[in-house]
Amino acid sequence: MEIHTRSRHYLRSNNVKKILKELEKMFDPLDIDAAFKGKRFELLKTGPYDVILVDDEPMIFMPDDEPFLTVKGALLTQPKRRVVMVDAGATRFVVNGADVMRPGIVQADPDIEAGDLVIVVEELHKKALAIGRALVSGDDMPGESGKAVKSIHYVGDTLWNIV
């Protein structure tokens, strides 16, 4: 996927507060404000979705016209909600953009519903690898076969390297 920039401008503080409040509600209990306090927010309007650069790093994106953390944003804030944990065997596939298959899932947030955006993390260090869309609920993710998460952004892709 290529990302073409259509426009780029700094966000006003009231817009930044609104975005941070939405993220805090989504990832509660997580102090999003502390991670991003005093930083410059810039909106990058692109083809597939808008990206919010925080001090020139892609930390937030808007795949559904609602803010969600990018992989870099998840690495910075380390949320505990909306997380799907994969084993070491799945890690190399996920970082190359593969969808997450049920046998590779160690655990998943039980509050995840099908259609939710989720953060895929690896088991050993709990580091974010990808952002994806849940195809099943969190309780149904671990299993014998089938896809559980459709990958939409991962380490090293065009969104990771944007600026």
Q: Which positions ≥6 away from 161 have C-beta within 8 Å?
A: none
Could you tell me the CATH number of the domain that includes residue 71? 3.10.450.120
- Name the band, by pLDDT with cuts 50, 70 and 90, for residue 162: confident
Tens digits of residue pLDDT in 17-54: 999 999 999 998 777 878 898 899 999 988 778 999 99
Rounded alpha-carbon distances, angstroms, from residue 2 to 19, 26, 72, 160: 25, 28, 18, 12
Q: What is the pLDDT of residue 4?
A: 64
Residue 115 DSSP symbol: T
- Is residue 162 domain-resident? no
- Do residues 54 and 100 both lie within one domain? no
Cβ contact 137:127 at 8 Å: no
Could you tell me the CATH number of the domain that includes residue 125? 2.30.130.10
Long-range pairs of 154-158 with CB within 8 A, sequence gap ≥ 24:
154/71, 154/94, 154/95, 154/96, 154/97, 154/129, 154/130, 155/71, 155/95, 155/128, 155/129, 155/130, 156/95, 157/1, 157/97, 158/1, 158/2, 158/3
- In whole angstroms, give the CA distance from residue 154 to residue 29: 24
Task: For residue 98, give both structure tokens.
Answer: 């593969």
Tens digits of residue pLDDT in 51-106: 999 999 999 999 888 899 999 999 999 999 999 999 999 999 999 999 999 999 99
Q: pTM of the entire structure?
A: 0.93
Tens digits of residue pLDDT in 111-138: 999 999 999 999 999 999 999 999 999 9
- Do residues 137 and 95 both lie within one domain? yes
- Do residues 89 and 58 both lie within one domain? no
- Is residue 160 domain-resident? no
